[in-house]
Structure 1
Amino acid sequence: MTAKKLCIFDFDGTLFDSVEDVILCFNRTLKEYGFPTLTRDEYIPCLGGNIDDIVSKVLGKNSTPQNVEIIKNVYLDYYNSSHKERTVPFTNSRELLENLQDNDILLAINSNRLNYSLNEFVDRYYPDIDFVLIEGHNVDYPSKPDPWGVNNIINKANVSLDEAIYIGDSITDIKTAQNAGIDCVVVKWGYGDEVAFNHEYPVKVIDKFSQLCEFLGINYF
């Protein structure tokens, strides 16, 4: 395998444990408009797409363009104004990024979370990490699993496809890497399922950060 020079990370479920704040704000919104609320287990399969995709799945049989727009906007108002105290990095994620950076690995984030939200958490928790690019969902461009964001990152980093690797937790991340033509590592601590863990495309499935360092040939911190 070609030595990797660039690690592209998914955000939710890979670097950050974020679902609890999402559930609280969605259920508050759904209840306000008389729609059924969901449990954590019901929310997890809805994740992975962009905000419109997620809202449509959350609404289920009540999903119409009008309802999606209403629930999306109210949810975002609640979410953006909340303290998001339950959204925190997974243990040792910052140390992992620092270790990779110290070993001259370029770092980037590719997510379907909106850009301003990504930057809020990165600025708060990863102030010393120099990301090549943070590529979130942009309404003017296609979202994951389209490789648009990954392609931008690879061009900015000026590396070849075989020098880049995508690290994520879901089938959406696998398809994103596959569509971009780069290798993929799947993590088991996020919101993925057995479909992702048993998919034939990833080169590695890991359940702790140290295994990523081992895979990349880097000493664990």
Structure 2
Amino acid sequence: MTALSHLRGIIFDMDGTIVDSGLDFSAMRQEMGLRPGLPILEQLDELSPAERAAMEVILHRHEMAGADRATIIDGADRLLAALASQGRPMAIVTRNSTATTAYTLDRLKIAHYFDIVICREDGPHKPDPWAILEICRRWQFSVEEVVMVGDFELDILAAHHAGCPSVLFTEGKPQSQVAGAELATHVAQHFDDLYHLLAPGQDSI
């Protein structure tokens, strides 16, 4: 039995964890005139309603372009199928918009795997734990019975604040190069690591 095989529900980040849309956040910040290196959504919260509306047009254009070119990260489709075959419910928590998230999941034909999809319009976004706690409420699971899987520090912080286990997926990078690794319950450097953490009893990728 692997370390996470007892968990009842799996919560995934989307971009960089299940799909790769190739978003260039530095270019997005530069076009919007935002400060480099800081999360975009938090900077938008500082703007006036009119300024924010103008920036959201730019953000939507970049996100939809990313949705158009998005691909499934190698191995993700097999992991999702394995988890579904075990009857373990899955959810998405993303800072992407509802429109781009739905379009991405539908275009890649993986929307049917997810019982719940929570996007930035639905409530406080990561690193706030609200979405994880809301999913637990809907599933009627305790926070100890779910795991948050993501590729970014904000995913791990959300899990940490919620009090649930977490897996940092580093996309092949050493964990020392990925922020949030010190708070993660587990680190998966490659997708086969993630597969064996979450899908015990299945063949190797």
Fold conserved between structures, TM > 0.5 = yes
1:82-93 equivalences in 2 (<5 Å): 82=65, 84-93=67-76
Structure 1 counterpart of 2:56: 72
Encode CA deviations 1:51-109: one digit per residue, 9 max, x unaligned.
532658xxxxxx85354442222432x34664844322211211211111112221110
Give the count of matched residue pairs: 197
Match of 2:109? 126
Given that 1:101 and 1:129 are in contact with CA atoms closer than 8 Å, whether structure 2 keeps it comes out as no
Contact 1:21 / 1:84 at 8 angstroms: preserved in 2? no
Partner of 2:41: 52
Partner Cα distance (1:172, 1:89) in 2: 21
Where do 5+ consecutive residues of structure 1 fail to align?
Answer: 57-62
Alpha-carbon offset, residue 124 of structure 1: 1.5
Determine the C-alpha separation between the residues in 1 that align with 2:201 and 2:132.
23
* Contact 1:115/1:138, CA 8 A, preserved across alignment: yes
1:108 alignment partner, SS class: strand
Aligned sequence identity (%): 21
Opposite residue 9 of structure 2, the aligned amino acid is L
What is the TM-score normalised by the length of structure 2? 0.79
Listed as ranges, the gaps of 5+ residues in structure 2 are none
Distance 1:142 1:75, change over 3 A: closer
Length-normalised TM-score, structure 1: 0.74
Partners of 2:14 and 2:64 in 1: CA distance: 20
Contact 2:152 2:180 in 1 (8 A): yes
Over the aligned positions, Cα root-mean-square deviation in angstroms equals 3.1
- For 1:99 and 1:55, the matched residues in 2 are separated by 38
